[in-house]
Structure 1
Amino acid sequence: MRIKIPKSWQLTANDVTDESVYRQRRTLLKNMGFLGAGALMSTPAHSLDWFSKSAKKTFITEPLTYLPQSDKQQILTPESKVISHNNFYEFGASKSDPVNNAQSFQTNPWQLTISGQVENKIILDYDDLTRLFALEERIYRLRCVEAWSMVIPWVGFQLSTLLAKAKPLSSAKYVAFETLEDPEQMPGQASRRLGGGINYPYVEGLRIDEAENPLTLMAVGLYGKTLPPQNGAPIRLVVPWKYGFKSIKSIVGITLLDKQPPTTWNQLAANEYGFYANVNPGVDHPRWSQASERRITTGGLLARNRIDTQMFNGYGEQVAHLYKGMDLRANY
């Protein structure tokens, strides 16, 4: 008899996203007319054959959960709080600014380009991203940490899938990301006061081995729905073992490079925000301790619901090997 032993970060069926949430997504897709969608049409700059109708048969059709077994508070954060309590400085520095200022944000037309040191340049437009949501059957339930932490059911696919189709050259060592720059739609970009003094566009980066880790996601939805604008529509990065500012939103460019790219918060305050930004309770932010975090669950946003911060946000089994031999105090 074959016995299947689950990974430490995979939970049982009792822990997955509530079925009603998942079914909302299926209803939404039916209403949008995308259920049963076939192969995407290709243009010379597209390489989307891996989302063909035949490939869809190999997709996982049940929600997945990727939470550390050691996490004692595996409570799904209410959707109302996830979509109303955000850091998205393009729409303002207050946590409530994004939901208030982003509702007229237009994501169609859209273009996401994967370029740089690759064999195949890839360009995805709005229709491609919408079809990716329709074809993607995975829901990832992940812990995410900023100054607070949430447990969010992301709908997405592994970034490694996209990079593999672009065929990185052997010289590619890093992956750089860029957010849309559109001051007319994004008041934080038009005003340094509202936008936290950031020089836009917002940029981020990962080492290529971090980008290819199975936990590194390109999210196109949450709670079974397409991403709201305040959460990074139409497509964003999710890197659950790093602090939230690494998970760049509303991405228009992915570039593979041979050198470490600049990142926005490191440029703004290098003594506070390093390139790696791994969740590490042993390295304090210069202005506060990172030994504990405020978990947002069903209580008020200001509730004193603090828990101990876990190294790599609890995903050490999956990612600690990426940093073997590194001084994580110097490489913060």
Structure 2
Amino acid sequence: MLSRIKKSYEIKESLITPEDIYNERRNILKLMGILGLSSVAGIDILEANASQNIQINQNNYPYKIDLEFNKTPLTPYQKATTYNNFYEFGMQKDDPYHRAEVLKTSPWDLVIDGEVEKPIKISLEDMIKRFGLKERIYHFRCVEAWSMNIPWLGFELGKLIDFVRPKSNAKFVLFETVVQEDMPAIKNPSIAAYIKFPYKEGLRLDEAKNLLTMLAVGMYGKVLPNQNGAPLRLVVPWKYGFKNIKSIVRMTLVEKMPISTWNKLDSSEYGFYANVNPDVPHPRWSQANERFIGEGFSFDRIPTKLFNGYGEEVAKMYAGMDLKRNY
């Protein structure tokens, strides 16, 4: 009898959402018009919508579910959209939920420049039509030792990077977030402890092109809420949450390792790599376990996994590196 070897990112069977609940979620999505025939039949979304004008202001996107990433207990939508960090709107967990309505998300363009053969300015609409959308449920681990399971909608960042044709000397990608005058921390810098914006983050080029790395435009079958980084955010599931920069307006391919916002603020606490590692404590707390935010009001803690459980897909990129020194 053949047995299937599970991927490293899959949740053990005892924690998988019951099939009837998962199917009910799909039925709700179908009724909302999110899952069309192309998703059910497995037809590529990009081809199915090539001749359509996708309206970014609508509530939902057409997409297909990536079946390798769809079995896991979800964090409730209400919790995932009201408990998060987005310091441009304040430093309390519910500040983004209460204040992010001022974020202007349409029209939205992304500039890609630096060490590329084809620098471009591309609209969100064009990215979606060109690369299509998939849903992937990833485990999200914050450096503050709490975690969630979130179904992201997006596309692989590597496809966009290949499109602009990196030069041979491009080694890193620098990401930059939007700055708008109505953001509370732009109007009053004390709201975010005088952090300097725009917020910046970086990845090594091979990390950015890893098949797990996504640019997300939605979550839970809907357009990204403002407080979660609308309309375009980075999702790198094996790294701590602060690496997942929100509301991106620029990507610059560079030769030397860029200095990211938190790394500049305190390099002893927030390293450039920020790979999830239970064996490397934060200077002020252990990273050996985390508080998973799921259904109900449980404060149970679960063990943290190296690379957030995605080691099978990403560990080879760090072969030979000292993961404590290169934290």
TM-score bin (small chain): 0.7 to 0.9
Q: Provide closer, same or farther for how the CA distance between residues 94 and 23 of structure 1 changes in structure 2, counting only shifts above 3 A.
A: same
Contact 2:8-2:311 at 8 Å conserved across structures = no
Q: 1:288, CA displacement in angstroms? A: 0.9
Contact 2:217-2:223 at 8 Å conserved across structures = yes
Contact 2:172-2:203 at 8 Å conserved across structures = yes
- Asked if 1:320 corresponds to 2:315, the answer is yes
User: Counterpart in 2 of 1:51?
Assistant: none
Query: What secondary structure does 1:77 align onto?
Result: coil
Contact 1:129-1:235 at 8 Å conserved across structures = no
* Separation of aligned partners in 1, 2:3 and 2:301: 38
TM-score (normalised: structure 2): 0.83
User: Counterpart in 2 of 1:188?
Assistant: 185
Q: 1:101, CA displacement in angstroms? A: 0.2
Q: Report the AA paired with residue 316 of structure 2.
A: H
Q: Report the AA paired with residue 98 of structure 1.
A: P
Percent identity over paired residues? 47
1:298 to 271, 295, 299: 295
Q: Provide closer, same or farther for how the CA distance between residues 227 and 60 of structure 1 changes in structure 2, counting only shifts above 3 A.
A: closer
Structure 1 window deviating more from structure 2 (96-105 vs 201-210): it is 96-105
**How many residues were matched structurally?**
302
- Asked if 1:240 corresponds to 2:225, the answer is no
* Separation of aligned partners in 2, 1:65 and 1:93: 35
Q: Provide closer, same or farther for how the CA distance between residues 262 and 225 of structure 1 changes in structure 2, counting only shifts above 3 A.
A: same
Contact 2:273-2:326 at 8 Å conserved across structures = yes
User: Counterpart in 2 of 1:66?
Assistant: 69
Structure 1 window deviating more from structure 2 (210-219 vs 123-132): it is 123-132
Q: 1:28, CA displacement in angstroms? A: 5.0
Aligned counterparts, 1:220-231, within 5 A: 220-231=217-228
User: Counterpart in 2 of 1:49?
Assistant: none
- Asked if 1:144 corresponds to 2:140, the answer is yes
Please list the CA deviations of residues 7-64 of structure 1 after superposition, one character each: whole Å capped at 9, or x if unmatched. 4435799769934545655635699xx99533589xxxxxxxxxxxxxxxxx984343
User: Counterpart in 1 of 2:304?
Assistant: 309
* Separation of aligned partners in 1, 2:287 and 2:272: 17
Q: Provide closer, same or farther for how the CA distance between residues 206 and 23 of structure 1 changes in structure 2, counting only shifts above 3 A.
A: farther
User: Counterpart in 1 of 2:260?
Assistant: 263
Q: Provide closer, same or farther for how the CA distance between residues 155 and 260 of structure 1 changes in structure 2, counting only shifts above 3 A.
A: same
Q: Provide closer, same or farther for how the CA distance between residues 188 and 132 of structure 1 changes in structure 2, counting only shifts above 3 A.
A: farther
1:175 to 156, 173, 176: 173
Q: Provide closer, same or farther for how the CA distance between residues 29 and 315 of structure 1 changes in structure 2, counting only shifts above 3 A.
A: closer
Q: Provide closer, same or farther for how the CA distance between residues 156 and 21 of structure 1 changes in structure 2, counting only shifts above 3 A.
A: farther
User: Counterpart in 2 of 1:120?
Assistant: 118
Q: 1:111, CA displacement in angstroms? A: 1.3
Contact 1:21-1:224 at 8 Å conserved across structures = no
Q: Report the AA paired with residue 172 of structure 2.
A: Y
User: Counterpart in 1 of 2:22?
Assistant: 18
Query: What secondary structure does 1:241 align onto?
Result: coil
Please list the CA deviations of residues 134-166 of structure 1 after superposition, one character each: whole Å capped at 9, or x if unmatched. x42x11000010021000000111100100101
What runs of 5+ residues in structure 1 fail to find an aligned partner? 42-58
User: Counterpart in 2 of 1:88?
Assistant: 86
Q: Report the AA paired with residue 206 of structure 2.
A: D
* Separation of aligned partners in 1, 2:34 and 2:164: 28
* Separation of aligned partners in 1, 2:312 and 2:169: 28
* Separation of aligned partners in 1, 2:11 and 2:296: 24
Q: 1:6, CA displacement in angstroms? A: 6.2
Q: Provide closer, same or farther for how the CA distance between residues 258 and 39 of structure 1 changes in structure 2, counting only shifts above 3 A.
A: farther
* Separation of aligned partners in 2, 1:81 and 1:60: 23
Q: Provide closer, same or farther for how the CA distance between residues 30 and 277 of structure 1 changes in structure 2, counting only shifts above 3 A.
A: closer
Query: What secondary structure does 1:114 align onto?
Result: strand
* Separation of aligned partners in 2, 1:155 and 1:179: 19
